[in-house]
Amino acid sequence: MGSMTQRTLITVACLVLGACGEGAPAQGSDGDGSDSTGAGGPGTTTEPGAPTTTEANDSGVDSPTTGSSHGDSTTDGEPPPAACAMGYPIPGTEQVQGDAEAGYHALLNEGYVSCGIPFALFPIAAPLLGSFGEGEPLPGRTGKNAEVPYNWTVHTSKSSGAEIVSLNCLECHAGHFNGELVIGLGKADADYTEQIGGFLAEIPIPGIPIPGLEEMTRMAQRYQAVGDYTRMLVVGTNPADSLAAVLSTRHDAETLEWLDEPNTVVPDVILPVDTPPWWHTKKKHGLFWNGMSRGDHRATMIYASALCTDSVEEAEDIFSYFNNIRAFIESVEAPKYPFSIDDELAAQGQEIFARDCSCCHGTYADDPALETYPNMLLPLDTIGTDPLLAFEADARPFADWFNSSWYGDIGKLTTGDPFVGYVAPPLDGIWASAPYFHNASVPTIELVLNSKARPMWWRRVDYDSTNYDEEAVGWPWVELPYGQDGAPDDERKHVYDTTITGHWNTGHPFGDHLDDQERRAVLEYLKTL
Residues 252 and 311: beta-carbon distance below 8 Å: no
Shortest reach from residue 241's CB to ligand HEC, in Å: 5
Shortest reach from residue 449's CB to ligand HEC, in Å: 6
**Closest residue by Cα to residue 83 from 509, 515, 527, 392:** 509
Element (H, E) at 400: helix 398-404
Residues 111 and 119: beta-carbon distance below 8 Å: no
Shortest reach from residue 252's CB to ligand HEC, in Å: 21
- Tell me if 24 contacts ligand HEC by CB under 6 A: no
Element (H, E) at 164: strand 163-167
Element (H, E) at 175: strand 174-177
**Closest residue by Cα to residue 422 from 288, 225, 321, 297:** 288
**22, burial (CB in 10 Å: exposed 0-12, middle 13-18, buried 19+):** buried
Beta strands in 269-413 (DSSP E): 293-295, 376-379, 411-413
Instruction: Count the residues of the shown chain that bind ligand HEC, applying the rule CB under 6 A.
Output: 49
Whether the CA torsion 305, 309, 311, 317 is positive or negative: it is negative
- Tell me if 155 contacts ligand HEC by CB under 6 A: no
Nearer to ligand HEC, 92 or 486 (CB): 92
Site mask, ligand HEC, residues 197-236, x = CB under 6 A?
----------------------------------------
> What is the Cα gyration radius of the chain?
23
Shortest reach from residue 423's CB to ligand HEC, in Å: 6
- Tell me if 281 contacts ligand HEC by CB under 6 A: yes
Q: Of residues 298-317, which lie at the interface with ligand HEC (CB under 6 A)?
A: 301, 304-305
- Tell me if 480 contacts ligand HEC by CB under 6 A: no
Site mask, ligand HEC, residues 349-378, x = CB under 6 A?
----x--xx--xx----------------x
Shortest reach from residue 152's CB to ligand HEC, in Å: 12
The stretches of 227-336 forming alpha helices (DSSP H) are: 240-248, 298-303, 312-319, 322-331
Stretch that binds ligand HEC, among 93-101, 121-129, 198-206, 435-443 (CB under 6 A): 435-443
- Tell me if 329 contacts ligand HEC by CB under 6 A: yes
Nearer to ligand HEC, 216 or 432 (CB): 432
Nearer to ligand HEC, 57 or 281 (CB): 281
- Tell me if 432 contacts ligand HEC by CB under 6 A: no
What are the distances in angstroms from CA 78 to CA 69, 70, 73, 424? 9, 9, 6, 21
Nearer to ligand HEC, 213 or 389 (CB): 389
Shortest reach from residue 462's CB to ligand HEC, in Å: 21
Residues 280 and 403: beta-carbon distance below 8 Å: no
Stretch that binds ligand HEC, among 129-137, 217-225, 254-262, 275-283 (CB under 6 A): 275-283
**Which DSSP letter does residue 287 get?**
B
Residues 182 and 432: beta-carbon distance below 8 Å: yes
Question: Which residues sit at the interface with ligand HEC, rule CB under 6 A?
Answer: 81, 83-84, 112, 169, 171-173, 238, 240-241, 273, 275-276, 280-281, 284, 287-289, 301, 304-305, 325, 329, 353, 356-357, 360-361, 378, 383, 385, 422, 424-425, 427, 430, 433, 436-438, 445, 448-449, 508, 510-511, 522
